Structure 1
């Protein structure tokens, strides 16, 4: 095993006291502390104090004060410059951020460099370009003139105000940047709550945001478990919540936001399907499933968790994929050569083990699914043969290195199987038959449909789900609409 060496800056950061970031400054506080665990070794690498009620109020008040006195009226071009400077700083300190994210999440260091650094910077630069392009429209009026007067109307897009952004543990920096980039570009201010499992890289991001020139109070961070997120959503000065996480938590967030009649964006994951038509290129599909179904141990909201394959091709697919999985090594996420590493935390490890136990009773485990006898939360990538669409692992999200495979016979049956799910985040169709793909796309109940690819997202293309996979959209012009209110103005002259 050959692990990379940790930077002195990474080691120094781990030794600091950690807590919140409020009104432009770090602060610890006297509340309880959370131990941050390295999932590859189960060692405690840092501790973080949880936010007190006073600190939560201080963070929201700072965001509100900055919104009303500074940021909402900030020069749009200057907003974009700050977001671009933050992107520059993320790239300049990229290895430090990537190491922190790997240490706390178990993500392979190469993936951390791609997602925490490259994709985060890309998202910030994309929304930096939006700051000067948020506009309304001029509209004709149809009122009759009574005494020669004339009428005109136009619309304005105005920032919604303070945003509570609640971020999961799987891609903490990248998903935080999805939310804060769009919100800040629109003139909103943000209070960010990381997962209690992965607070460190985001605390470092807060320091970089201050260095980039973001005004004090525009971006704040409070740490803690679910009760901290609940307090944010219920705070009277919070005008919108953007949440990424589980369906169970998202339903509670939705109810709390609805009770206050505030905006709510939910991205809740799903039981995503990869559908291989009869003519699919199996070798291409094997490579695609390795890259998208098992990346970060399957802890990706859009990852394919169930694969529907034409009955004539299913053995070919499972044989080739099983051979590739068996040959792939598993080890430390700080080893650049290791494609597979640990799950991100103990509760999630236990959850995946629970689903594998169910699979052993209801289905047939073709390969993998073993826990390694070593420190860390390691489970080997698993393939499950399903017999029926109602099996647990064909309906419930495992969010782990487990893909279920099931055969079908014709296109009509395939569409029914794809849509037989409480979720609707992403679906991929693997085929060289463009006509078949174009026929199916409108009938697939999914927020995103990929063809001959899976999981890929782009900041210019809206991303989100239907059914229990969520409400609203990240990215693109749709995100601008999520963080702005539309005001209509009438003029008589």
Structure 2
């Protein structure tokens, strides 16, 4: 299949002196230069200046000024219209954004276009539709009247202020848009901190936002070392809220830092998601479901399934067909149109997964397929099938965040449900069956923030998303986001 030719606009963008986007302008910053590595080759494609304390102060001050001034003075419908204009601009620059994303994250060009950019645009338009629809309510007041006076009360939703959004590397545009759009439509302004591995895409999106008319300071992007910048952003007096997507250890640190300052935090922390297949599903249906649930984007999706529970009588046949399907996937450059297996997003992540597979072997688990890196440049890792010996295996307890499916046979559905819930995590799960009654009953019993039936990983902006237990707190999408980006004020009057 044809290799996608890099756009001239992308080549020119990569050559810029990159740093931050603060107060409506690109700002190189004065920090050390950090290389941006193409995961498909291991080669440097650009450099970005790290941020420092002065950059944090500048970004937060710009966001606070916009929050108190130009953004708060703008009508809600005007804000929504700007968000729609940004969605249009992103759509017009779809290929440019997709190519930058693939260069930074290794995501296949097809996924960068159809999932990363297209879904970011769809979610942005969804949130824009909430403009003018964030309501309070009126209520009767029970105070007695002494001289004929009356009382009335009402509530209103007020924006929190400056929102700090900390973005992971797996979906550097889409997840940033989730957080940014929710904050903006509620009347907040944002300072976004992308991952060090994927620092470029939101710089381009922020410039597009400025081009379509967003006031300076409304959207700011700050790059650099998360361990340094994260605490500075959270502790800054202008920070009114933190929203974070990423690993459990980092998320806990973010949550603790925010909590110590009585600042609200929305945390989406991934997990060890389960997929339960009931015996009435055919082998081909099970394999299709496993491919969907566990191996899209090399398993680098927060909600991807990693624990698979299969009926014992079908286990071997399912795994045999699955291995055949996986062996036929094309491992290639993510810029090839028909690439099905691209690289992992960065070297550190590849090394982590290799170590976890080595631990699985020590546990006595059986690696039936994959489990190693092919001989080629870049950070490639073959889709992997592991037949685990116990629910206590490392691969059943710890998140890999990669294309490693761990399979456990069951003879009793009730026991399988108990094993699914016997986890410190609770982000997502799925049930696969033609028995509608069981599907609904099991979805009620599984401890997870979202449960899919005969599907997995798909998200819709109208349906809230988020985890329970160690997988985080707070919700994104639907109407639930309003509670996380506004505060409730009560007003009482006498007349």
TM-score, normalization: structure 1?
Answer: 0.99
Which stretch shows the higher mean deviation, 8-17 or 139-148? 139-148
What does residue 91 of structure 2 align with? 91
What does residue 10 of structure 2 align with? 10
Residue 236 (structure 1) shift? 0.9
What does residue 203 of structure 2 align with? 203
Residue 289 (structure 1) shift? 2.1
Residue 283 (structure 1) shift? 1.6
Alignment partner of 1:341: what SS? Answer: coil
Residues 1:269 and 2:242 aligned together? no
Alignment partner of 1:312: what SS? Answer: helix
Alignment partner of 2:73: what SS? Answer: coil
What does residue 391 of structure 2 align with? 389
Residues 1:416 and 2:418 aligned together? yes
Moved over 6 A (4+): none
Contact between 1:72 and 1:159, CA under 8 Å: does it hold in 2? Answer: no
Residue 313 (structure 1) shift? 1.7
Residue 131 (structure 1) shift? 0.9
Residue 443 (structure 1) shift? 1.2
How big is each residue's C-alpha offset from its partner over 1:359-412, in whole Å with a ceiling of 9 and x where there is no partner?
A: 122111111112112210011100000121111100100001101000112221
Residue 23 (structure 1) shift? 0.1
Contact between 2:51 and 2:225, CA under 8 Å: does it hold in 1? Answer: no
What does residue 75 of structure 1 align with? 75
What does residue 29 of structure 1 align with? 29
Residue 264 (structure 1) shift? 0.3
What does residue 284 of structure 2 align with? 283
What does residue 311 of structure 1 align with? 312
Residue 284 (structure 1) shift? 2.4
Residues 1:453 and 2:467 aligned together? no
Please give the alpha-carbon distance, in whole angstroms, between the structure 1 residues aligned to 2:450 and 2:72.
32
Residue 331 (structure 1) shift? 1.2
Please give the alpha-carbon distance, in whole angstroms, between the structure 1 residues aligned to 2:299 and 2:85.
32
Please give the alpha-carbon distance, in whole angstroms, between the structure 1 residues aligned to 2:319 and 2:139.
58
Matches within 5 A, 1:28-427: 28-226=28-226, 227-362=228-363, 363-427=365-429
Alignment partner of 1:257: what SS? Answer: helix
How big is each residue's C-alpha offset from its partner over 1:168-197, in whole Å with a ceiling of 9 and x where there is no partner?
A: 000000000000011000000000000000
Unaligned runs of 5+ in 2: none
Please give the alpha-carbon distance, in whole angstroms, between the structure 2 residues aligned to 1:280 and 1:147.
73
Alignment partner of 2:349: what SS? Answer: helix
Please give the alpha-carbon distance, in whole angstroms, between the structure 1 residues aligned to 2:232 and 2:285.
47
Residue 316 (structure 1) shift? 2.2
Please give the alpha-carbon distance, in whole angstroms, between the structure 1 residues aligned to 2:152 and 2:279.
58
Which stretch shows the higher mean deviation, 102-111 or 402-411? 402-411
Contact between 1:97 and 1:116, CA under 8 Å: does it hold in 2? Answer: no
Please give the alpha-carbon distance, in whole angstroms, between the structure 1 residues aligned to 2:456 and 2:473.
21
Contact between 1:395 and 1:421, CA under 8 Å: does it hold in 2? Answer: yes
Residue 73 (structure 1) shift? 3.1
How big is each residue's C-alpha offset from its partner over 1:216-274, in whole Å with a ceiling of 9 and x where there is no partner?
A: 00000110112112211111110000000000000000010001101100000010000
Please give the alpha-carbon distance, in whole angstroms, between the structure 1 residues aligned to 2:87 and 2:283.
39
Residue 147 (structure 1) shift? 2.9
How big is each residue's C-alpha offset from its partner over 1:263-322, in whole Å with a ceiling of 9 and x where there is no partner?
A: 100000010000001212332231232233111111110000010011122122211111
Which stretch shows the higher mean deviation, 131-140 or 56-65? 131-140
Contact between 2:292 and 2:456, CA under 8 Å: does it hold in 1? Answer: no
Alignment partner of 1:274: what SS? Answer: strand
TM-score, normalization: structure 2?
Answer: 0.98
Please give the alpha-carbon distance, in whole angstroms, between the structure 2 residues aligned to 1:15 and 1:49.
13
Contact between 1:74 and 1:187, CA under 8 Å: does it hold in 2? Answer: no
Contact between 1:31 and 1:52, CA under 8 Å: does it hold in 2? Answer: yes
Residue 53 (structure 1) shift? 1.1
Please give the alpha-carbon distance, in whole angstroms, between the structure 1 residues aligned to 2:442 and 2:225.
42
Please give the alpha-carbon distance, in whole angstroms, between the structure 2 residues aligned to 1:280 and 1:225.
47
How big is each residue's C-alpha offset from its partner over 1:327-385, in whole Å with a ceiling of 9 and x where there is no partner?
A: 11211100111110100001101000011101122111111112112210011100000
Task: Count the aligned residue pairs.
Answer: 493
Superposition RMSD in Å: 1.0
Alignment partner of 2:480: what SS? Answer: helix
Residue 148 (structure 1) shift? 2.4
Contact between 1:285 and 1:452, CA under 8 Å: does it hold in 2? Answer: no
Contact between 1:280 and 1:432, CA under 8 Å: does it hold in 2? Answer: yes
Please give the alpha-carbon distance, in whole angstroms, between the structure 2 residues aligned to 1:490 and 1:371.
65
Please give the alpha-carbon distance, in whole angstroms, between the structure 1 residues aligned to 2:80 and 2:279.
48
